Amino acid sequence: MPPVIQLDGLSVRFGKLEALSGLTGEFSAGSLGLLGPNGAGKTTLLHTLLGFHPPSAGRGRVFGHDVVTDSRGTRSLIGYMPERDSFIEGMSAVRFVKMLAELSGLPSKTALERAHEALYAVGLGEARYRGLETYSLGMKQRAKLAQAMVHGPKLLFLDEPTNGLDPPARERMVRLIRDIRDSGHVKIVLSSHLLRDVEECCDEVLILKGGRIAYHCNLEQERLANRKFLQLQIRGDVESYVARVAELGCEVAVDGKQRIRLVLPPTLEIRALYEAAADDGVQIRHLDFKRDSLQDIFLKAMEQG
């Protein structure tokens, strides 16, 4: 089975500005988070895969379909939720979503049925006959999600889906995205400047910087592979215990009278710390275990990319 997205030296130029430069990689996770500062090329990449911008060099494929030579086949596989609103004044939600379904190629009757189903799926069933201009920001975002889903795509492009939402509306949107991801029927590319959204919704992350790939990883594997940072609250001889764990290969620093911070080497398990404490007559009263967060990964990519 071909990768969900395949990039082979993909570049996009607008006049003298190179917006994307030599992007290469294959991405097949259930949900891919697209991260980067403003101007990094996130939206440009989505638009190029949708066929809006012709590559100046290289190629891009979606499920094996070339985005240039088979742009129509590519777009039929994708549902797109844009960052900016593009509603038609005076149109109800169900009429709007039905119209987008028809533009995707569905017959009128099927499009209407799918529009009702999509609006119920995003929690707008009771408000589907209301004019879109009467919707709150959170409701408008969910209407955009409904129109992206209505034709049954294999891949969803979600561009800043929680932008501007208050906490309850954001939580509702994140829950909808996770439900779509967990269904296993649709792949997701989530473009966002909010690390928390990507961390909560995505299995894989692609970080762009200046139109180039700064970092790409499977998020869970990256967390598991990162070094283990621990903070211990102990009771007993601190100096003796610090010396003992240093002999085990830990990087260790004293942080207060009875607190120490340490980095556990990859080959050492946490139980070795308890065994060393027992040998020294030390009690470990509290242990905090922390792996690198997505923020740590992102900051490293910005420094190194």
Residues 47 and 132 both lie in one domain? yes
Residues 233 and 103 both lie in one domain? no
Residues 57 and 173 both lie in one domain? yes
Residues 218 and 236 both lie in one domain? no
Structural domain includes residue 298: no
Residues 248 and 204 both lie in one domain? no
Residues 123 and 245 both lie in one domain? no
Whole-number pLDDT of residue 267: 83
Structural domain containing residue 255: 228-292
Structural domain includes residue 299: no
Residues 248 and 262 both lie in one domain? yes
Residues 258 and 112 both lie in one domain? no
Question: In terms of residues, how long is the chain?
Answer: 305
Task: Give this prediction's pTM.
Answer: 0.80
Residues 128 and 91 both lie in one domain? yes
What CATH number has the domain bearing residue 166? 3.40.50.300
Q: What is the pLDDT of residues 153-193, one digit of tens each?
A: 999 999 999 999 999 999 999 999 999 999 989 999 999 98
Residues 214 and 235 both lie in one domain? no
Residues 126 and 183 both lie in one domain? yes
Q: Please state the domain count of the chain.
A: 2
Q: What is the pLDDT of residues 245-293, one digit of tens each?
A: 999 998 888 877 788 988 888 788 888 999 999 998 999 998 886 656 7
Predicted confidence pLDDT, tens digits, the chain (305 residues):
889 999 999 999 999 999 999 999 999 889 999 999 888 999 999 999 999 999 999 999 999 999 999 999 999 999 999 999 889 889 999 999 999 999 999 999 999 999 999 999 999 999 999 999 999 999 999 999 999 999 999 999 999 999 999 999 999 999 999 999 999 899 999 999 889 999 999 999 999 999 999 999 888 777 666 567 888 899 999 989 999 999 999 888 887 778 898 888 878 888 899 999 999 899 999 888 665 677 777 887 787 75
Residues 219 and 235 both lie in one domain? no
